[in-house]
Structure 1
């Protein structure tokens, strides 16, 4: 019987957990070499003593950090989207079967992998998620104040501006003293959230000032600091995408297909990838459509021609797709957006 040693390990699949990790190792021809369950510290000691090999994990919470740690130890770390691993799970599911399925998926030559993020990219992602959460809380607080006042016959205009000057509005209305005190506490919470959001906006603006890619992405029409910052974190150097369409597809801005029998059938956009980034790109596209009469250049001419024969929602999604492709081109080719010689300064 042939003896297999740890030096024969060529590929390792890891089923990630919070405290325990399940490893499945294979040699170059796909034979199982070992299976083991270990803690985080035991796993890192194991890889520190193991010859360089390829390590594959699902792209999930904590995977980017582990990938960076493994690459620092000399291993090649790869991440796979969980949806591509699921078809390779055999019969009954358990952690070791999942680790084996990860190895099986990684062995496919056509498999698509996720590029591990750097610390800076992950930190920027945390900033954006914090800001998004604060914005939701601020909107919820403002809606609460609107609803409470409406129950006492006070109808205020829409928008956050009136919320910022609420104390002056309350002083002009005959309201119960207890209600006024409660609304003041709620307004203090609103002011706190508003201040936190403004501080995070300043951090994003400061980060863009020192980021070459983010500054170049700001040259795209109707792309603001928040969208440019998130695009810069998502695209990186653009090398993980083969072309601009691949990036647009990763954001979920290309049509889904349900084609069979040689008949092509295109559906709505796939809505894959980063939901927040897709939402921002569509919002930027809608702003561009609102200011279309002020826009010049090839992009504006293309949008006008499309708008003449398609619904505005279809045009917005198509323009968002185009903006994503332009952003990838700027990142991959180290250029900036040029609308043309007759484009307006705005």
Structure 2
């Protein structure tokens, strides 16, 4: 088949029946999380490598997809990106500017098709600042290749929620939010952490977004510890330490671990977060009936909070926000076929 024939196929007019599906997208600093309302949400490590034109890609998978843009630019996302040198880490970049690429990485075929219309439900720490830019990046027609397949996707609608509020709505469905009083959502992510003060009606009445201070800050602190760098014989990479937070605190595929002295770094990091929370919300504390702790890095402190009456730590916290972002109508997922 010629290139011209392929192009004609990709640009075929919409059929009479157009399927509009929905995707919740939580493009985090550590993971890109996404969910279409079925099975379990998925995640792709939020790291990528831009391949030079003369470089062949290593093996790609759904969990580590290869994206090709119409101009031939290629990006390999996920864990496979570590097989190249000089990867780009989302945690030290502007996520808003990467919105389109992150969407492409997370778009899998819908019912076997790569041409469809879709509604996107996304989140950002500061919607007032970033919502318009995210919509501008995502709305409209997108043509690209993912893992060798040609996609033609029309984004018809983009809804942008405060990051962390998805987890709040999901916790409500699970019965974790009291009917009265205030809830403080503490969302600890890879690059940032944030808080939302929510009243019994679900209104956000105060909030705080810390641009830094998430797990990457803890990982950076550990990377400077001579006990690790001396054992490695070189400087430790904070991004590999972040990976180790989920794999028994091991550094990459070595047997080196910071577990015996983790507490020395974890304790001040933990106290720094919750002292800030207490200082900001002191006037409201008497009415707080729940601290909801969530986010992909909250597992680092879950043991410290176990058994505390006011605290609820989300199970599977990595995906709590994306689950809550997905629209639910009468308990059913929102994905419909329209004539």
- When normalised by structure 2's length, the TM-score is 0.24
Q: Which structure shows the bigger proportion of residues in helix conformation? A: 1
Q: Which structure shows the bigger proportion of residues in strand conformation? A: 2
- When normalised by structure 1's length, the TM-score is 0.23
Which protein shows a greater Rg? Answer: 1
Task: Answer 1 or 2: higher relative contact order, Cα 8 Å, separation at least 6.
Answer: 2
